[in-house]
Amino acid sequence: MRRSPAACTRTRRVANYQVGSSGERSAVRRTGDNSANVLRAFLACAFVLMAAATWASAARTIKPSRSLLRDDSFCLGCHAPESLAKGAKPVAAAVVYRSAHRDLVCVDCHRDLTDVHHAKPPARADCAICHTEGGVSGPAAGRKAPGHGDLHSLSLPRKGERAPTCTACHGKHDASPVLSASSRLAPARIAATCGACHSAEARQYSESVHGVAAGQGNKDVPTCSTCHPEHIALGRTGVLRRGVVTTCVSCHENPGLQSKYALPGNRLASYLGSYHGAASELGDNRVANCTSCHSVHDILPSTDPRSTVNPADMPRTCGRCHPGVSGRFGTARVHLQPSLRRDRLIFLVKTGYQVFIGGLISSFVGYIALDLLARRRRRFPATRRSAAAHPQPEFERLSLNQRIQHWLLMASFITLMFTGLPLTSPTWAVSRSLVRFLGGMGVRAIIHRTAAVVLIGLVCYHLLYVLFSRRGYRDFWQLRPTLQDGRDLLRMLRFYLGYSTVPARFGRYNYIEKFEYLAVGWGSVVMVTTGLLLWAPGVSLSVVPKWVMDVALVVHGWEAILAFLAIIIWHMYNVHWNPAVFPMSRVWLTGRISLDELRDNHPLEYDRMQLGGRLPQEDAP
Helix residue spans in 115-254 (DSSP H): 128-131, 156-159, 166-170, 190-195, 199-207, 209-215, 224-227, 238-241, 244-252
Confidence of residue 381 (pLDDT cuts 50, 70, 90): low
Q: Which of 152-156, 165-169, 394-398 has the highest mean pLDDT?
A: 394-398
Q: How do the domains of the chain map onto residue ranges?
A: 399-478
pTM > 0.95: yes or no: no
pLDDT digits (tens, 9 = 90+) for 406-450: 999 999 999 999 999 999 999 999 999 999 999 999 999 999 999
The residues, ordered by sequence, that sit 6+ positions from 474 with a Cβ below 8 Å of its Cβ are none
Give the pLDDT of residue 148: 47
In this model, does residue 249 exceed pLDDT 60?
Answer: yes
pLDDT digits (tens, 9 = 90+) for 561-592: 999 999 999 999 999 988 888 888 889 999 99
In this model, does residue 404 exceed pLDDT 90?
Answer: yes
Angle CA 93–97–102, to nearest 5 = 130
Least confident span in 136-150, 414-428, 502-516, 535-549: 136-150
pLDDT digits (tens, 9 = 90+) for 3-26: 444 444 444 443 443 444 444 444
Confidence of residue 518 (pLDDT cuts 50, 70, 90): very high
Beta-bridged to residue 594, according to DSSP, are 394
Q: Mean pLDDT for the chain?
A: 82
pLDDT digits (tens, 9 = 90+) for 124-147: 787 877 876 444 444 333 434 344
- The string of DSSP codes covering 327-372 is GGGGGS-SS---SSSSSHHHHHHHHHHHHHHHHHHHHHHHHHHHHH
The residues, ordered by sequence, that sit 6+ positions from 512 with a Cβ below 8 Å of its Cβ are 570, 574
Confidence of residue 311 (pLDDT cuts 50, 70, 90): confident
Give the alpha-carbon dihedral of 63, 69, 72, 74, to 10 degrees: -10
CA distance 105 to 538: 65
Q: Count the Cβ atoms, other than its own, within 10 Å of residue 75.
A: 20
Least confident span in 6-20, 150-164, 172-186, 481-495: 6-20
Q: Report which of 596, 615, 598 is spatially closest to residue 390, judged by C-alpha positions.
A: 596
Least confident span in 229-233, 277-281, 340-344, 496-500: 229-233
The residues, ordered by sequence, that sit 6+ positions from 305 with a Cβ below 8 Å of its Cβ are 312, 313
Q: Are 391 and 600 in contact (CB under 8 A)?
A: no
* Environment class of 183 (CB within 10 Å of its CB; exposed 0-12, middle 13-18, buried 19+): buried
Region 61-89: what's the mean pLDDT?
71
Region 220-235: what's the mean pLDDT?
76
**DSSP H or E run through 394:** strand 394-396
Confidence of residue 81 (pLDDT cuts 50, 70, 90): confident
In this model, does residue 29 exceed pLDDT 50?
Answer: no
Give the pLDDT of residue 616: 63
- The DSSP symbol for 309 reads T
Give the pLDDT of residue 159: 67
In this model, does residue 452 exceed pLDDT 90?
Answer: yes
Provide the terminal-to-terminal Cα distance of the chain, rounded to the nearest Å.
192
Checking 453-459 for CB contacts under 8 A at 24+ apart, the result is: 454/408, 454/411, 454/412, 455/409, 455/412, 455/413, 455/416, 455/524, 455/527, 455/528, 456/528, 458/405, 458/408, 458/409, 458/412, 459/524, 459/525, 459/528
CA distance 587 to 400: 11
Q: Count the Cβ atoms, other than its own, within 10 Å of residue 466.
A: 17
Q: Count the Cβ atoms, other than its own, within 10 Å of residue 18.
A: 9
Q: Are 374 and 306 in contact (CB under 8 A)?
A: no
In this model, does residue 223 exceed pLDDT 60?
Answer: yes
Confidence of residue 123 (pLDDT cuts 50, 70, 90): confident
**DSSP H or E run through 54:** helix 5-59
CA distance 38 to 26: 19
Angle CA 284–286–290, to nearest 5 = 95
CA distance 489 to 367: 10
Region 176-182: what's the mean pLDDT?
78
CA 350 to the chain's CA centroid: 29
CA distance 259 to 287: 30
Confidence of residue 384 (pLDDT cuts 50, 70, 90): low
Region 195-222: what's the mean pLDDT?
89
Confidence of residue 229 (pLDDT cuts 50, 70, 90): confident
Q: Residue 89 to residues 75, 76, 95, 127, 157: CA-CA distances in angstroms?
A: 11, 10, 14, 20, 29
Beta-bridged to residue 592, according to DSSP, are 396
Q: Count the Cβ atoms, other than its own, within 10 Å of residue 81.
A: 10
**DSSP H or E run through 513:** helix 511-535
